[in-house]
Chain A
């Protein structure tokens, strides 16, 4: 027992491995989790001891959440940061031992972890019964055999269907459903994929888990809430532009992490958290440095090309060389020297450069705008595209683009592409409701 206690003492000082699940209204806090002291965000639930549920759990998210919960190895604990207001399923009624804390509260999280490791807290029991997913019909240990060569249906799974691969061979496809809590994808995105090797042959976007309940997500919970608010009420230009820069930097941090630059990503997140208009130079330097990072452009060049015909708005279109920007027609931006940044190529590299350049430009604008206040009326250029009352929000159109973009790509390229589009499924759901931002 002595060894166990010694191990527990060491382990309690370790960084708490956390697997975050982002629910409704959780996006705005999500960027902060990685910066909490003594907390480490991990890529797979198997590597975590603490499940951190951020925001509200919609009916569509509940079943996957329970599965993810049971994938955490014991000892495990669940911490819930409910969004405000608590409008969805109360997690405590489904998962017994849930610690509820204020969003962003790292100390409680650390406390739960220390208690868990120290033995003062029991590990969460599984939420789902450990049942076989299908009736056992095979003979061999893996469900093979039975009558005939391929006997029973192995483990309730259908046999793979065949389809031609790029080399003209008829090969099996592996049907696979990923999401809505697959870390490389934006929270809530479900993809039904048919894979050959690691090449994607078919893609269908699954049901949006944020859709389908009476009210739909509240615009207040969106990570673009500030912009939606600004579309309706007067708002200082400096505030809008600062939020834009912060949004783009947080997105860039996620992209860096996906490309294996986790420590660099933390640095960018840190910058985003404390972002002020005075940081214009730092963001400029960051944009220049990442632009010059050969390996990064190597990994993103030519990946996920979006043409202006496919998307005609927002940073995605500007990265493809079209100078569209709602700020051009916005009187609030008259006379402060605004002209849209554009890139060419329309690939993931162009979008990375585009957003970094826009972040730098936004801080520059924030400095120059002074006390200028934007009046509601014309469409407002949000971080993903124009927001105006009664129209679909930008994410919805971008999500629809996915199947066409992803087919034929290798897995890594597909993840790069999805990340480079900066999707928000919650925004897509909100946009699907008529007149959402109003």
Chain B
């Protein structure tokens, strides 16, 4: 348990901000806004991590997500039928199911968090968590760290292989189904909302 007035205020600010931003991701009708609300949510969690003294991780989270969310925004602009993203739009389906599932997930997890009795052993504030992490990564858990690194490398190669135009056996489109967009006429009004 960490207590102090300023920290508490900061905690409520960042957590409320993070949750509201997360909610707005799916409420906004602008692609770029959605991506950057998500970034705001991550930044809030990053700030909470810094408050919890996991400074390195919190900052790295922001660093990583700034890039990723920008790429996401560009991807959304790229893949949605829009004049280069100058006109945004919204689309939602199976709204009720999703809402119920979301509420259940929240209620279940929150219940566990509130009811379960977790040991109260706060971290020693005098230790430097960053150097702890560094020693852990390059000490006992080096194998885990290396595995993560190799996984990322494999991911990069795999992602390029999936996304590239030329596959091992010729062009990626070969033998593919006809484009879905041209397969059937566009649906009239009343797609699920």
Q: Which residues of A contact B (CB under 8 A)?
A: 140-145, 147-150, 154-155, 157, 159-160, 162, 167-168, 170-172, 174-175, 195
Contact = CB atoms under 8 A, between A and B. Distances in A.
Contacts of A162: 81
B50 interface: no
B132 interface: no
Given A145-B89, A148-B188, A149-B191, A167 B165 contact: yes
Contacts of B82: 159-160, 172
Contact of B87 (A143, A149, A175, A195): A143
Interface in B167-193: 171-173, 179, 186-191
20 contacts: A140-B89, A141-B29, A142-B29, A142-B30, A142-B88, A144-B87, A148-B186, A148-B188, A149-B89, A149-B91, A149-B191, A154-B89, A157-B87, A159-B81, A160-B81, A171-B78, A172-B81, A172-B82, A174-B84, A195-B84
Contact of A147 (B79, B91, B173, B189): B189
B119 to A, nearest CB: 50
A160 B80 CA distance: 10
Given A140-B29, A142-B29, A148 B83 contact: no
Contacts of A143: 87
Interface string B49-90: 000000000000000000000000000001101111011111
B191 A172 contact: no
Contacts of A175: 83
A265 to B, nearest CB: 32
Nearest to B163: A167
Nearest to B89: A144
A148 B190 contact: yes
A141 B30 CA distance: 10
A145 B90 contact: yes
Contacts, number: 63
Contact of B81 (A147, A150, A174, A195): A150
A155 B191 CA distance: 22
Nearest to B80: A172
A141 B84 CA distance: 18
A168 B84 CA distance: 18
Given A140-B90, A142-B30, A148-B189, A168 B81 contact: no
Contact of A150 (B29, B89, B165, B179): B89
A149 B92 CA distance: 10
Given A168-B171, A174-B84, 16 more contacts: A140-B90, A142-B29, A142-B88, A145-B89, A148-B188, A148-B191, A154-B87, A157-B83, A157-B87, A159-B81, A167-B165, A168-B173, A171-B79, A172-B83, A172-B84, A174-B86
Contacts of B87: 142-144, 154-155, 157
B165 A168 contact: yes
A176 to B, nearest CB: 9
B75 to A, nearest CB: 11
Nearest to B29: A140
A417 B189 CA distance: 47
A82 B29 CA distance: 49
